[in-house]
Chains A and B, each alone.
Chain A
Amino acid sequence: MPAVSKGDGMRGLAVFISDIRNCKSKEAEIKRINKELANIRSKFKGDKALDGYSKKKYVCKLLFIFLLGHDIDFGHMEAVNLLSSNKYTEKQIGYLFISVLVNSNSELIRLINNAIKNDLSSRNPTFMCLALHCIANVGSREMAEAFASEIPRILVAGDTMDSVKQSAALCLLRLYKTSPDLVLMGEWTSRVVHLLNDQHMGVVTAAISLITCLSQKNPDEFKTCVSLAVSRLSRIVSSASTDLQDYTYYFVPAPWLSCKLLRLLQCYPPPEDGAVKGRLVECLETILNKAQEPPKSKKVQHSNAKNAILFEAISLIIHYDSEPNLLVRACNQLGQFLQHRETNLRYLALESMCTLASSEFSHEAVKTHIETVINALKTERDVSVRQRAADLLYAMCDRSNAKQIVAEMLSYLETADYSIREEMVLKVAILAEKYAVDYSWYVDTILNLIRIAGDYVSEEVWYRVIQIVINRDDVQGYAAKTVFEALQAPACHENMVKVGGYILGEFGNLIAGDPRSSPLVQFNLLHSKFHLCSVPTRALLLSAYIKFINLFPETKATIQEVLRCDSQIRNSDVELQQRAVEYLKLSSIASTDVLATVLEEMPPFPERESSILAKLKKKKGPGAVSVTELEDSKREGGELNGGGDRGPDTAAMAASNASTPSPSADLLGIRSAAPVGAAPASAGSLLVDVFSEAGPIAPSAAVNDDGFLRFVCKNNGVLFENQLLQIGIKSEYRQNLGRMYLFYGNKTSVQFASFTTTVSCPGELQSHILSMHLCTKPVEPLVEGGAQIQQVLNIECLTDFSDAPLLNIKFRYGGALQNLTLKLPVTINKFFQPTEMTSSDFFQRWKQLSQPQQEAQKIFKANHSMDTEVLKAKLLGLGTALLDNVDPNPENYVCAGVIQTKGQQVGCLLRLEPNAQAQMYRLTLRCSKDSVSRRLCELLAEQF
């Protein structure tokens, strides 16, 4: 027992720990613990007053038992008693117990705070530190309230000991992070900045963390720290390795402090003052130079400490992105690390180079390392290093090296870890499209992608290749030939069948001249895959078959035979059956001309931004995709009638596009037999006959939610508009009830027939919580040209909800069935009642809602004007009361309200903290119901 032999331990504790360690089984351990708990309990309850030593020992045993994973429900009072002991060892155990087993028992909190208060004013530095560490470890709201004003005083007082200053600085940081509203800026702030000049390096080390955090929130107030940090850094960097004595670590002067200084500087743009800037550039050059000097020690600690500073300096250089010379030097340095024998350095170099690749000054320099990076992708043993290599290849890719990089990434995919395949697939797809010079290369790449990693090829990827093939007639023949060849493989991925079905259905004629790919061969090839495919793919193949009948009349008999067989025409899947029946009928009764018109080649898709990028971004979060690239890509809103260049008389587009509100849904039509649904007006009468009244092939409409978010903070306006139809809404809410008026305006001069609207509550909304009663009166089936009709919707909120009801609208315009689905802007905040309250009430309630689940927080970039009046209007529109003079920071907004549902009332408090400098917000919600906090936070984060 080493501890006992050191002579200062608590003997009883050591014996107890030994006993526990000697227990042979879990049961024995529990038995021993229960015995000990009984013993301690009796000691605490006994009439004999315990001396401090015993109390300390027992509390310490309890703590040990707790750390073993057992519940402790007593001893808190004894621990609190230890706080007021005047012996260090007893106090320390008391504070440790409190810090580890934080208890929100209010009675105790008062006693604890009292003890802390005494220790803070004791002028005994040891006791003061213990108290400060306890506050820093617990960091509760109550402690912030009690001490947030006291600690700054201790921090800047002239007679405070250095070690106490260190603790005070970080203690204050903790309080500022947990309760920023309680830490008020004041006269102490300027003095804190000057701690950067303190002669005690430990004080600087601690204080700089506080200063960095404060600077991020209040950059202007703290900007004097820049020149102070530069001069401090300069002194460290230029010092000889022994100057700083205690703070030299393996011959590196103050590595951690240097890193923190460099990081503080990253809160600011490059210094404006020429002299300061010059000095800083000198520092950065010195750091880069030192990396080239022979090491002063062979120990890894030496090189790690040195490189920690180097990487932080490189981060600063990248952050400034204004010194081409330094950027290129940084890149060269990282290039050396790419081949270093230390895996850590190779990893960090790849990571850091990824950000360098997006700077215009260093992009070319990064590219020179391509061979090394490819080699890393092939040979690194650690998957996380390979992942970084793949990220870097993606970041350094441009037109000049795309073919090489894509080829390498493809070959890596064959052996890549499953965890990263989907992301790799997206990256390859994006690069192939972005840098495609000839589209045959693009088609080859995507088909290879499907072959190698078909399971990881998402819909976005294969939709996209079809879009591109359809839009470029120079590649259609090649695509048909290639996909035909790919389908020859005995086992080919279902995604390949989908692409093959679609492309041959459209462009199979381009290769039909070759007897090896004659129409019948093509059909047989496709049909040989049919039975192995899932229902959606089979549906797609059926559509391809009907297209074949049009393209190659000689296949008609064979295909009709297939359609007619029981497994198709009586298929248990209603979609397949329906297609088989309709296609069979269509092919038997329509004339060749009509067939040709109905089954015409798909018109080009409107050129749009690739939805794959968006998918990658969503998947990976910022970082993996270079952010600039994503921001550069202009995003086109998904207007409903994407094909604005074509008149509505091309009903083919009107029908298939009506279902494609978002770029990613562009090809949804494929799955729902768009080729047929796209009925031209001229054939209208016939089609109505064929398909009867209901028009069964209405494309399954994707939900349009463009308008939805615009109505979170307002109740009236235009929800939706395209070339045919405008939908306006007006709504009013009281308590848990609401009424919404919907106005449908026919913008054309032609009558809309069979106009029907249905409101539905998707999934959970309906079956699970049944939150809303929606009563709608049916609308008139005919809407005359230029007319407007009105519909009323009554809404009752039963309980809180997060989904939105859907409004589906179907009508006939000309011969074509229009089908669209909109998200109705009924959001939980509509049932807010504003609540006025005073500052003290607000904070009291805020505190009461302190369970972590009750809070939802989001930090996000401003998307709209940060103007005060605009913000106020939005917050009022939200339905809450906007409370003045509550938040100590006048820049912040606080709101309060109660959500009225039928079953319960949910109290909500909101705090919005704008940061104009950074163009960011922090939004915090605390509600008595977790799900409400989360939902409101999601909704609101999109509003500002």
Chain B
Amino acid sequence: CIRFILIQNRAGKTRLAKWYMQFDDDEKQKLIEEVHAVVTVRDAKHTNFVEFRNFKIIYRRYAGLYFCICVDVTDNNLAYLEGIHNFVEVLNEYFHNVCELDLVFNFYKVYTVVDEMFLAGEIRETSQTKVLKQLLMLQSLE
């Protein structure tokens, strides 16, 4: 299952950190830095997977942003890799051509999108139609 989700830019600034495992604040900061260090040195010819401590990171880069999911070593790499893409497509639709600044200014909404699609470290909903319908409904609420 998912241990954490991170969105970071190339400079290492965190745009989203969602934790599904107990870590204290120092540990979280360490993890964030480590992930940045292992992911940013890789190029397009490398795989989208990196061994990471006792886990592995599945990541994909979109423009200047790295979307990283940390999962157990036995988890299905490609399913999570496409899980990232599915999530990105939802963000893109929701924010009409999402860019990094959308994630900054609407950080509190990004959490809502995450919770619709991933919960308790598991994939909750995969249908983009269903997620977007729900998000639009929430958007209309006061």
Contacts of B126 in A (CB 8 A): 202, 205, 247, 249, 254-257
Q: Does B31 count as interface, using CB distance less than 8 angstroms?
A: no
Contacts of B45 in A (CB 8 A): 343, 381-382
Q: Does A610 count as interface, using CB distance less than 8 angstroms?
A: no
Contacts of B82 in A (CB 8 A): 249, 255-256, 301, 304-305, 308
Question: How far is it, in angstroms, between the C-alpha of A738 and the C-alpha of B85 when the chains are bound?
Answer: 63
Contacts of A14 in B (CB 8 A): 105
Contact in complex: A344, B77 (CB < 8 Å): yes
Kindly provide the distance from the CB of A586 to the nearest chain B CB, expressed in whole angstroms: 54
Contacts of A139 in B (CB 8 A): 120
Kindly provide the distance from the CB of B69 to the nearest chain A CB, expressed in whole angstroms: 13
Q: Does A697 count as interface, using CB distance less than 8 angstroms?
A: no
Task: Scan B65-99; emit 1 where CB is below 8 A from any A CB, else 0.
Answer: 00000000100111101110110000000010001
Contacts of A137 in B (CB 8 A): 115
Which residue of the partner chain A has the closest CB to B75? Answer: A263
Question: How far is it, in angstroms, between the C-alpha of A133 and the C-alpha of B125 when the chains are bound?
Answer: 13
Contacts of B63 in A (CB 8 A): none
Contacts of B95 in A (CB 8 A): 2, 6
Among A93, A133, A311, residue most surrounded by chain B Cβ atoms (within 10 Å): A133
Q: Does A173 count as interface, using CB distance less than 8 angstroms?
A: yes
Contact in complex: B78, A305 (CB < 8 Å): yes
Which residues of A (55-76) have their CB < 8 Å from a CB of B? 60, 63-64, 67, 69
Across the interface, A206 reaches (CB within 8 A) one of B83, B112, B124, namely B124
Contacts of A174 in B (CB 8 A): 120-121
Contact in complex: B50, A384 (CB < 8 Å): yes
Q: Does B48 count as interface, using CB distance less than 8 angstroms?
A: yes
Across the interface, A136 reaches (CB within 8 A) one of B48, B120, B141, namely B120
Which residue of the partner chain A has the closest CB to B22? Answer: A852
Contacts of B50 in A (CB 8 A): 384
Contact in complex: B127, A348 (CB < 8 Å): no
Contact in complex: A126, B127 (CB < 8 Å): no
Contact in complex: A206, B125 (CB < 8 Å): yes
Contact in complex: A347, B129 (CB < 8 Å): no
With contacts A3-B102, A171-B120 taken as known, whether A344 is within 8 angstroms of B138 at the C-beta atoms is no
With contacts A257-B126, A304-B82, A852-B24 taken as known, whether A384 is within 8 angstroms of B51 at the C-beta atoms is yes
A-B CB pair tally, cutoff 8 Å: 157
Contact in complex: A87, B142 (CB < 8 Å): yes
Kindly provide the distance from the CB of A857 to the nearest chain B CB, expressed in whole angstroms: 12
With contacts A312-B76, A344-B77 taken as known, whether A173 is within 8 angstroms of B124 at the C-beta atoms is no
Q: Does A246 count as interface, using CB distance less than 8 angstroms?
A: yes
Contact in complex: B111, A96 (CB < 8 Å): yes
With contacts A312-B76, A852-B24 taken as known, whether A344 is within 8 angstroms of B81 at the C-beta atoms is yes
Contact in complex: B78, A307 (CB < 8 Å): yes
Contact in complex: B127, A89 (CB < 8 Å): no
Kindly provide the distance from the CB of A179 to the nearest chain B CB, expressed in whole angstroms: 13
Q: Does B119 count as interface, using CB distance less than 8 angstroms?
A: yes
Contact in complex: A201, B134 (CB < 8 Å): no
Contact in complex: A348, B77 (CB < 8 Å): yes
Contact in complex: A347, B76 (CB < 8 Å): no
Contact in complex: A3, B105 (CB < 8 Å): yes
Contact in complex: B86, A249 (CB < 8 Å): yes
Question: How far is it, in angstroms, between the C-alpha of A409 and the C-alpha of B137 when the chains are bound?
Answer: 59
Contacts of B111 in A (CB 8 A): 96, 99
Which residue of the partner chain A has the closest CB to B83? Answer: A256
With contacts A92-B112, A247-B127, A384-B51 taken as known, whether A2 is within 8 angstroms of B78 at the C-beta atoms is no
Contact in complex: B120, A202 (CB < 8 Å): no
Contact in complex: A384, B24 (CB < 8 Å): no
Kindly provide the distance from the CB of B72 to the nearest chain A CB, expressed in whole angstroms: 11
Contact in complex: A344, B48 (CB < 8 Å): yes
Contacts of B1 in A (CB 8 A): 209
Q: Does A17 count as interface, using CB distance less than 8 angstroms?
A: yes
Q: Does A188 count as interface, using CB distance less than 8 angstroms?
A: no
Question: How far is it, in angstroms, between the C-alpha of A174 and the C-alpha of B120 when the chains are bound?
Answer: 6
Question: How far is it, in angstroms, between the C-alpha of A382 and the C-alpha of B14 when the chains are bound?
Answer: 26
Contacts of B85 in A (CB 8 A): 301
Contact in complex: B125, A202 (CB < 8 Å): yes
Number of residues from A at the complex interface, CB < 8 A: 68
Contact in complex: A88, B125 (CB < 8 Å): no
Contacts of A384 in B (CB 8 A): 46-47, 49-51
Number of residues from B at the complex interface, CB < 8 A: 54
Kindly provide the distance from the CB of B136 to the nearest chain A CB, expressed in whole angstroms: 12
Q: Does B122 count as interface, using CB distance less than 8 angstroms?
A: yes
Task: Scan A834-874; emit 1 where CB is below 8 A from any B CB, else 0.
Answer: 00000000000000000010000000000000000000000
Across the interface, B130 reaches (CB within 8 A) one of A246, A254, A257, namely A246
Contact in complex: B102, A2 (CB < 8 Å): yes
Contacts of A245 in B (CB 8 A): 129
Kindly provide the distance from the CB of A172 to the nearest chain B CB, expressed in whole angstroms: 9
Q: Does A561 count as interface, using CB distance less than 8 angstroms?
A: no
Contact in complex: A170, B49 (CB < 8 Å): no
Question: How far is it, in angstroms, between the C-alpha of A202 and the C-alpha of B51 when the chains are bound?
Answer: 30
Contacts of B105 in A (CB 8 A): 1-4, 9, 14, 17
Contacts of B119 in A (CB 8 A): 133, 136, 166-167, 170-171, 206
Q: Does B107 count as interface, using CB distance less than 8 angstroms?
A: yes
Which residue of the partner chain A has the closest CB to B142? Answer: A87
With contacts A136-B119, A167-B119, A206-B122 taken as known, whether A3 is within 8 angstroms of B142 at the C-beta atoms is no
Contacts of B73 in A (CB 8 A): 623
Contact in complex: B49, A259 (CB < 8 Å): no
Q: Does A8 count as interface, using CB distance less than 8 angstroms?
A: yes
Question: How far is it, in angstroms, between the C-alpha of A60 and the C-alpha of B110 when the chains are bound?
Answer: 13
Across the interface, B122 reaches (CB within 8 A) one of A163, A170, A247, A311, namely A170
Question: How far is it, in angstroms, between the C-alpha of A2 and the C-alpha of B106 when the chains are bound?
Answer: 9
Which residue of the partner chain A has the closest CB to B133? Answer: A246
Across the interface, B101 reaches (CB within 8 A) one of A2, A96, A209, A312, namely A2
Task: Scan B47-61; emit 1 where CB is below 8 A from any A CB, else 0.
Answer: 111110000000000
Kindly provide the distance from the CB of A290 to the nearest chain B CB, expressed in whole angstroms: 15
With contacts A3-B106, A92-B108, A126-B138 taken as known, whether A343 is within 8 angstroms of B47 at the C-beta atoms is yes
Across the interface, B49 reaches (CB within 8 A) one of A8, A305, A308, A347, namely A347
Question: How far is it, in angstroms, between the C-alpha of A18 and the C-alpha of B21 when the chains are bound?
Answer: 32
Question: How far is it, in angstroms, between the C-alpha of A166 and the C-alpha of B123 when the chains are bound?
Answer: 10
Contacts of A304 in B (CB 8 A): 78, 81-82
Q: Does B37 count as interface, using CB distance less than 8 angstroms?
A: no
Question: How far is it, in angstroms, between the C-alpha of A87 and the C-alpha of B140 when the chains are bound?
Answer: 11
Contact in complex: A255, B46 (CB < 8 Å): no
Question: How far is it, in angstroms, between the C-alpha of A126 and the C-alpha of B77 when the chains are bound?
Answer: 32
Kindly provide the distance from the CB of B129 to the nearest chain A CB, expressed in whole angstroms: 4
Q: Does A21 count as interface, using CB distance less than 8 angstroms?
A: yes
Kindly provide the distance from the CB of A390 to the nearest chain B CB, expressed in whole angstroms: 14
Which residues of B (30-45) have their CB < 8 Å from a CB of A? 42, 45
Contacts of A177 in B (CB 8 A): 120
Q: Does A385 count as interface, using CB distance less than 8 angstroms?
A: yes
Kindly provide the distance from the CB of A297 to the nearest chain B CB, expressed in whole angstroms: 13
Contact in complex: A348, B78 (CB < 8 Å): yes
Contact in complex: B141, A8 (CB < 8 Å): no
Task: Scan A72-106; emit 1 where CB is below 8 A from any B CB, else 0.
Answer: 00000000000000011100110010010000000
Binding site for A on B (CB under 8 A): 1, 14, 17, 22, 24, 29, 42, 45-51, 73, 76-79, 81-83, 85-86, 95, 99, 101-102, 104-108, 111-112, 115, 119-130, 134, 137-139, 141-142
Beyond the given pairs A166-B119, A304-B78, A385-B47, 6 more chain A to chain B contacts, judged by CB atoms under 8 angstroms and listed by A's residue number, are A2-B102, A3-B106, A60-B108, A171-B119, A245-B129, A256-B82
| 7 A-B pairs closest in CB distance | A3-B105, A308-B78, A246-B127, A88-B141, A174-B120, A209-B122, A308-B79
What are 11 A-B contacts with C-beta separation under 8 Å? A1-B101, A63-B108, A69-B29, A92-B138, A166-B125, A174-B121, A206-B122, A206-B125, A254-B126, A304-B78, A384-B50
Binding site for B on A (CB under 8 A): 1-4, 6, 8-9, 14, 17, 21, 60, 63-64, 67, 69, 87-89, 92-93, 96, 99, 126, 133, 136-137, 139, 163, 166-167, 170-171, 173-174, 177, 201-202, 205-206, 209, 245-247, 249, 254-257, 259-260, 263, 301, 304-305, 307-308, 311-312, 343-344, 347-348, 381-382, 384-385, 623, 852
